[in-house]
Amino acid sequence: MNLSDQITPTRFRTLMAGFPSGVAILTVVDTASGRPWGMTCSAVCAVSLSPPTLLVCVRVGSPTLDTMLREGTFAVNLLHDRARSAAELFASGAPHRFERVRWEHAADRGGPHLVEEAHTVADCAVSGRQVVGSHTVVFGEVYGMRQHRFPRPLLYGLRRYASWPRDAEPPGGGAP
């Protein structure tokens, strides 16, 4: 018997719901078609300062994942607390998501930058990947970063969205 057999998906979701995290939207452009792809992701983690590397976990079979791996780049748009509607939109699977948000893309970026929803965007080059069960862990070496402002980040936990407390902001609300 495998020890993890006692932990059902429902029990595991309950465990992780008690561990709030920030909310991001991963984006990438298919250069052959010019089509942008994107999805909401709360499984983002710093891995190393040198080289600057983070990881994201994406469901196997996701068209965003397929495009990220094919293109070799992606952007991580870290959302502020007023971007809940964008988080819900990109989690919904609704078609034409990018027609409902303002975004910019340039050839030197990992993917589209969500101009109004992201407080910070990291451009990443895929530096590794590992399939673990239903998801692929994608390692991204950060080669560019734009910090638009430092408002309160959008958080997700206990199966709902929340804001960082106001007293936790840096003095003046500026970049740390």
Structural domains in the chain, sorted by start:
21-166 (2.30.110.10)
Q: Which residue has the tokens 């964008």?
A: 86
Residues in the chain: 176
The mean of the pLDDT values for the chain is: 90
| C-alpha to C-alpha distances, 41 to 6, 7, 154, 168, 175, nearest whole angstrom | 27, 23, 12, 23, 23
Could you tell me which of 87, 93, 156 has the C-alpha nearest to residue 117?
87
Radius of gyration of the chain (CA): 16
Q: For the sheet containing 135-147, what is the strand order?
A: 35-41, 24-30, 73-79, 118-132, 135-147, 52-59, 44-49
Determine the pLDDT at residue 4: 67
> How far is 72 from 124, CA to CA, in rounded Å?
9
Q: What H or E segment, with its residue span, contains residue 44?
A: strand 44-49
Contact between residue 102 and residue 115 where contact means Cβ atoms under 8 Å apart? yes
Could you tell me which of 79, 85, 77 has the C-alpha nearest to residue 37?
77
> How far is 85 from 144, CA to CA, in rounded Å?
26
Determine the pLDDT at residue 176: 44
Could you tell me which of 78, 75, 72 has the C-alpha nearest to residue 129?
72
Contact between residue 112 and residue 38 where contact means Cβ atoms under 8 Å apart? yes
Q: Which residues of the chain have pLDDT under 70?
A: 1-4, 150, 168-176
For residue 116, the tally of other CB atoms under 10 A from its CB is 12
Q: pTM for the whole thing?
A: 0.89
